[in-house]
Amino acid sequence: MVSAPPTLHPATWTPAVRMGLSIAAATGLYGVSFGALAVAAGLSVGQSMALSLLMFTGGSQFAFIGVVAGGGVPSAALGAATLLGVRNAVYGMQINHMLRPRGWRRWLAAQVTIDESTATAAAQEESAEQRRGFWAAGLGIFVLWNLFTLLGAVLGDALGDPRRWGLDGAAVAAFLGLLWPRLAAREPVALAVLSGAVTALALPMLPPGLPILVAAALGAAWGWVVRAPAAPAGAEGGAP
């Protein structure tokens, strides 16, 4: 079946669509913080918007302006952003296998494959719901992130410190909402606790954005080492 974005008609708002839109609202609002910080770092409104439209991955965008604000050269800022964006390439392979988009949808899916859209899709059991969740979250965040980037960039210092509005916590809460229903067995709980502990330990030692990559590598290693249980006797080749 060809993967297609959901329509805006309420009749299509299945649980996956509602989840995707709620994630979009929680995450998109945080774009105001990026817009304000980007202008404070010396970027123009147009440059701030270009980053959100073209780069469109929050961690990489914040890393880019962090280097710029610290006086780093553009090549260093681009290198930091690219390093954090590597995870999206991994997500892309997962989404391509999961949704199998075709034609122009493949290009659109590549643009909106981010943490939230991938997590929303992966949280669904049925393939149709995976598609709906992915598109609802990805397109919703793209629209809202850019709108609020523009708002933050235009208002600039009038907003004050964006963190005092608690917007940085909204995205975290959204991820916890996605994670919680999946903690239904000992192994996911153990992996979540271990990944959280490793991330917390890495935070004071690594640049922003890298601790989550360490946690992702830990999750990948866990999946590689922990093998699936052996098939029961007689499962292959017929009954004994």
pLDDT in tens, the chain (240 residues): 555 555 555 555 788 999 999 889 888 888 888 888 888 888 899 999 999 999 998 878 887 887 777 676 777 777 777 877 787 888 888 899 899 999 999 999 999 999 889 989 988 889 999 999 999 999 999 999 999 999 989 987 666 665 566 555 555 565 566 566 667 778 778 888 888 888 888 878 876 556 767 777 787 787 777 654 444 444 444 433
CA distances from 121 to 27, 35, 199, 211 (A): 16, 27, 24, 23
Which DSSP category does 151 fall into? H
Q: Structural domain boundaries of the chain?
A: 12-182, 185-226
On the 0-12 / 13-18 / 19+ scale of CB atoms within 10 A, 235 is: exposed
Please provide residue 174's backbone torsions phi and psi, each rounded to the nearest 5 degrees. -65, -40
